[in-house]
A and B are shown apart, each in its own frame.
Chain A
Amino acid sequence: MSQAAISFQWLLRRLGHFGHVHAAEVAPGYASLVRSASQLKPARDDLVLYHHGIASELSSALLHLPCRRGVVFHNITPARFYAGTQLEEALTAGRAQLAALAGRVDVSIGVSHFNAAELRVAGHTNVHTVPLFVEPNRFDRDAADEVYLRELKYPGTPLVVSVSRVVPHKRVEDLLRLHAELARKSPGARLLVIGPYAQGSRYFRDLPKPPGVTFAGAVSHAELVAAYRAADVFVSMSEHEGFGVPLVEAMACDVPVLAFAAAAVPETLDGRGIAFDEKNFAVLAELVLTLRDDHALRARIIEGQHERVEALSPAASQHALAEALDLPRPAARRRRAKKTSKPKLAIVVQRYGEQIVGGAEAHARQVAWHLADRCDVTVLTTCASDHLTWADTLPEGEARDGRVTVHRFACGGARKMRPFNRLSDERFDGAQSRTLEEHWLMEQGPRAPGLLEHLADTCGRYDAYVFFTYLYAPTALGLPLVAERALLVPTAHDEPALKFDLYADTFELPRALLCNTPEEAALIAQRFPQAARSRIVGVGVDPLPDEGFRPVPEPYLLYVGRLEAGKGLKELVKHHGRELPTLVLAGAGDLDLPARTNVKRVGRITEQQKYDALRHAAAVVVPSKYESLSLLALEAFACGAPVIGNAESNVVAGHLTRSGAGVAFSSFEGYAAAVREVLAEREKHSQKALGYAKRFRWPKVVEAYLAEIEKVRRAT
């Protein structure tokens, strides 16, 4: 149910509505994703959608909320399966609560027609069906845990997989009977039951545990996909299902589904897979072997199942949800911004300000300033100045930055990096469910709910929105709210987070992607084939006139930027030999670096000092392998400085190939040789740098942005 709530939140975001998920109980560490129910303070016009199953105190609380109310019914297992246990009363109480909600909610939603019918029986009117769904790409072969898949998938012995909690109404004992029959026909047959179980429960204790049967408990998403994909047949013996998500997951994993036709199961299968109405285990065991060995039959069933998975798509559920809640289509809902000669433009970026050090943030500010002549520019950003903690250090509310209006929203709390890094290591290791990816995103931040509410509330106020950096929450959560007027400057590079499917919306929903380099556009197209149209826009670089500043006596090599892990500085300093010129590191950061006599840290420098230092540098070093633009390289070229760059960054390598103004080293062992090669022909490289830099001028960049903004205006 919690996964469904997160999925509904996602669909609502795509429909332009912002909201929070609240729960009676929140698992430790998940407070960023789900708020406590006690924090729920809806306004009169708000809609609270309550997900109902077994008895909960929230159903009574819902009755008294001073707002519009709706219930999403996930079904309740009939109490007869749990007669004599404490659960029996909670199940009956859940049904009594469902009936008590009738007439006191504005809309009632069943996640299947079966559930919708039970809502009607309970007295509900204005009943709709919004089916649950799976995101098929999360169940692709690539998403499977390789080790687990190899462990499970070996030919010869049939493998039956079932995914469910080990509880009475799921009839695990019938799975074991089927397994016994199968083992009689095919010794070595295996049954893998995935799902949580209570070791001390009477039901689990009484189940036989013969050889070949594994109760795997709860597994990771990648392991779940591996289990489905290793299976010869997926079997469900459950005698009550309100929907049956595992049936759809199995269908998405190309495994034939064999399911007992109980409750909503026939509806969920809709004629796909094979349903049966009688538990003749000998016949079913023979059928399992047939489904494994009859390749034509297997292929036919899998193909049919694909159609069912497609029909149960997120888009179909989104449409059904919009109908159920009577939500107008985004285009109809949004008031048109007054079409004046000067477009009203919102730039959304995670941090903003003169003192903010960061490539994407500086880029956003430059774009804002250069567009301010031709557009009415408002920057929507957070109060954070530190990208590690997102602590609110800048005042909330409106401010001016030259001709640009800046509206800052509070983040409300500081991020702790150590737990976040641990979480990242965990989540980057294999495919994840949407819930876990969204949890990571909320921990990534910056969380600025006010900013998101502002986007949802003011989507008609601006002609266009330009979002900077795909990676952070304001873009990933904010862009879908205003997608039809959104442009994205992704600043994407090959990094672990780009593998998360939750970013599909970020790249697919905007009107266009304004990329910095062809390499960036190619990377996005490869990762998200359905991504929006991309245009290489780049940035302009206008060096300030020389005022003669030199950080150290010439000759020197120069790096300018944040001094932090991930920029390749440790390796660079380690490989900066004594025979090489002094390496100057300019920028903020307290990164611990190896001691070298010919490496000098000069701290943060001004814009004027930066351009002077670049102009007089023998060469500029770009050691990072994660670059989406490499503004430093472009600024170096504009100042006539050759670049020595890390070839692991396609972007840097692309600049160097196109310009011929420097050398890329493919490993740090080759760094010293690259320096010597550049310095030997510095003048030649310098001339090529100046020639290449002519491509990056602000008037060209501004025209490209204006053309895309105009396209958005015309289309909305």
Chain B
Amino acid sequence: MKLMGRDITGDALLDELRSRLSARSLDAPTGGPIRFDGLEPRVDPVAFNVEALTEHADPTRPLPLETHRAGLGRAVLLAKRLFRAGGQIFINEALGRQKRFNGHVRDSYAQLAAEVKTLRDRLEVLERPKAPPSKRKAK
């Protein structure tokens, strides 16, 4: 463990705290410093959108049920569960066309995204600095 601060001597302070604790047999070891991954990686928007469209293309699939409210909130949650259990067959019927439409939207986006990627790759090649012409003359 490290204590960090300009206005303390971290190691000395930590030693003092530890010696006080050990005098009373109180210090408890921990699993060591917590490791962080640092900066979060970039999330590719196109790939994310394709994935999200795929995940949500079927509107007959329920979202996970969550509530932030106590009391009545839990009762509403239960009512929603019952509605899902009893009404799924009608939900499927009502949203059948929407499901197909969403599938087409997903596929269209995926195809367009692939097209954009191809065009970007080609653009990158075209914009790449050209090698200087060879000095050797053709015989």
Contact = CB atoms under 8 A, between A and B. Distances in A.
A7 to B, nearest CB: 25
B66 A121 contact: no
Interface in A262-304: 262-263, 266, 269, 271-283, 286-287, 290, 297, 300-301, 303-304
Contacts of A92: 43, 48
Given A199-B69, A200-B68, A277-B1, A282 B21 contact: yes
A239 interface: yes
B132 interface: no
A594 interface: no
A412 to B, nearest CB: 37
Contact of A275 (B4, B13, B40): B4
A95 B33 contact: no
B58 to A, nearest CB: 15
Contacts of A358: none
Interface in A674-691: none
Interface stretch (B22-30, B93-101, B103-111, B122-130): B22-30
Interface stretch (A96-104, A219-227, A324-332, A585-593): A96-104
Contacts of B5: 269, 271-275, 301, 304
A278 B7 contact: no
Contact of A274 (B3, B28, B48): B3
B55 to A, nearest CB: 8
Nearest to A59: B45
A123 B45 CA distance: 11
A99 B43 contact: yes
A261 interface: yes
A307 to B, nearest CB: 9
Contact of B17 (A273, A277, A279, A286): A286
Interface residues of B, number: 46
B44 to A, nearest CB: 7
A511 to B, nearest CB: 40
A357 interface: no
Interface in A349-408: none
A523 to B, nearest CB: 40
Interface in B12-46: 13-14, 16-18, 20-21, 26-30, 32-34, 36-37, 39-45
A276 B3 contact: yes
A559 B29 CA distance: 80
B119 interface: no
B64 interface: yes
A85 B64 CA distance: 8
A304 B6 contact: yes
Nearest to B7: A304
A546 B64 CA distance: 85
A98 B40 CA distance: 12
Contacts, number: 135
B6 A272 contact: yes
B68 A277 contact: no
A200 B39 contact: no
Contacts of A290: 13, 16-17
B40 A281 contact: no
B118 interface: no
B131 interface: no
A76 B68 contact: no
A199 B39 contact: no
A10 to B, nearest CB: 30
B36 A262 contact: yes
A199 B40 contact: no
A89 interface: yes
Contact of A99 (B14, B42, B71): B42
Contacts of B29: 280
B8 interface: yes
A78 B41 CA distance: 10
A198 interface: yes
A118 interface: yes
B96 to A, nearest CB: 25
17 contacts: A86-B66, A95-B48, A96-B49, A98-B43, A121-B40, A199-B69, A200-B73, A201-B68, A239-B34, A263-B36, A272-B7, A278-B1, A281-B28, A282-B27, A283-B1, A297-B8, A301-B7
| A-B pairs with lowest CB-CB distance, top 4 | A198-B68, A271-B6, A96-B48, A278-B1
